[in-house]
Structure 1
């Protein structure tokens, strides 16, 4: 058999492309695989730093309850709620939200103040929520280099292949890095925006909600919009039977593990 015949036979033996729902479920599994340890780490830092570190992530379970403030006339002008985000009962962020009792006054309509684990007001904590997607990208990079499979892909029987080295186990560093950079390219602006706001507010004294310029607000809105549009575009590409942009750029393909290679 000629070289062209061998290549054609090998191409015909390739497993099917991973479909939209299978890849979506694998991505959700990987998200929670990363989210649980990140939540656990931030929970430990929240307690260790007396509330100096917190985390607001894409999926937040927030519980709020009514509270009262005594001894400070300026704070007594607000109706207060204490809100908490926690993992298995352990807090990862805790803050108080105040709304002005007299809506006709010149008082600010809303106030948000960070709390320590004992429920006391404290200087603004450092929000590590912006690290969520970079950590997810690093996790996928390492797993796909090692075996071509993350935990989610392994559960859903998916494998990332190198288009030019079909029988290779795992991806090269260059291809794996290129794949993750392009996949998360839409989230880069919102990650940088989140880091900017987090460090801007860090260690500022308790007070009214920070005011931002129109430029900062527009940039934040544009970054958030891109972070939503990018994965939707990737999902539409997969749903239509085409390779998404990160696989096209990296020369990779996600296939169902059906046969022995």
Structure 2
């Protein structure tokens, strides 16, 4: 017999914990990593090197080469290497990297020229590397919105609960969007800067890379630091047993999926 008006507290499953959530994120990244590289490899071949991709993990190989100048570019003073990034043997980027040292000032200048599928010089290719965060966030948004878990979370038996409706499978669109926007907020400046430079250099003629101004160095350092510190702060919050900022803002919580639920 129970008293009228008495509300029983919800017994939540145990929290996911740092390592379980970290390994789930690693699996999700590998899923997106493979999909993006497969897409870029296809586009690289279809556009004859006009599209390339450099993501978080790259297997780069370089070998020395002897190149001569073409057109109005004097390239003979550079020491050259031909480099390529491949995905299971399929190229996703190919370029020639040159380095030259001025004999008087000892100043070092560098030059990078994209190559087509036959190894010939071409105008700068469009680097789709800035898409990695956007694609990962979209993937998590769809999976958690529909199933309350991504592939990585499914493997590690994790479930994203709505704090107001913990039996619900799938998050409301507003909560799912809010969760991913806040989760990847620290990567937004780096993504915008990457997109800006990718489209700015696309189809341009190669030129020596100039020294960066102090302002550009400060901006690059700030963007890189934020992209590094943001996930570290989230991981530290989880390690201390607290809900990370994206779960607090979205009103969600990540718990271990108990077998008796």
Please tell me the TM-score bracket, short chain as reference.
Answer: over 0.9
Q: Which residue of 2 aligns with 1:231?
A: 231
Offset from partner CA, 1:91-122 (integer Å, 9 cap, x none): 11111111126554677522111111111111
2 CA distance for matches of 1:158 and 1:51?
A: 41
Offset from partner CA, 1:184-211 (integer Å, 9 cap, x none): 0000000000001111111111222256
Q: Secondary structure, in 3 states, of the residue corresponding to 2:116? A: coil
Any conservation in 2 of the 1:108–1:208 contact (CA below 8 Å)?
Answer: no
Q: Which residue of 1 aligns with 2:32?
A: 34
2 CA distance for matches of 1:4 and 1:233?
A: 41
2 CA distance for matches of 1:156 and 1:104?
A: 60
Any conservation in 1 of the 2:146–2:169 contact (CA below 8 Å)?
Answer: yes
How does the TM-score come out when normalised to structure 2? 0.93
Q: Which residue of 2 aligns with 1:43?
A: 41
Offset from partner CA, 1:165-202 (integer Å, 9 cap, x none): 01000100000000000000000000000001111111
Any conservation in 1 of the 2:101–2:108 contact (CA below 8 Å)?
Answer: no
2 CA distance for matches of 1:64 and 1:27?
A: 31
Residue 64 of structure 2: which of 45, 53, 66 is its match? 66
1 CA distance for matches of 2:128 and 2:5?
A: 53
Quick one: structure 1 residues 210 and 52, their matched pair in 2 at CA, closer, same or farther if it must change by over 3 Å?
Answer: farther
Any conservation in 1 of the 2:102–2:108 contact (CA below 8 Å)?
Answer: no
Task: Kindly report which structure 2 residues correspond to 1:1-261, keeping only aligned pairs within 5 A, or say none.
Answer: 1=2, 5-8=6-9, 11-12=10-11, 14-70=12-68, 72=70, 74-100=74-100, 103-104=103-104, 108-209=108-209, 212-261=212-261
Q: Secondary structure, in 3 states, of the residue corresponding to 2:80? A: strand
Greater helix share, 1 or 2? 1
Any gaps of 5 or more consecutive residues in structure 2? none
Q: Secondary structure, in 3 states, of the residue corresponding to 2:118? A: coil
Any gaps of 5 or more consecutive residues in structure 1? none
Aligned residues: 258
How does the TM-score come out when normalised to structure 1? 0.93
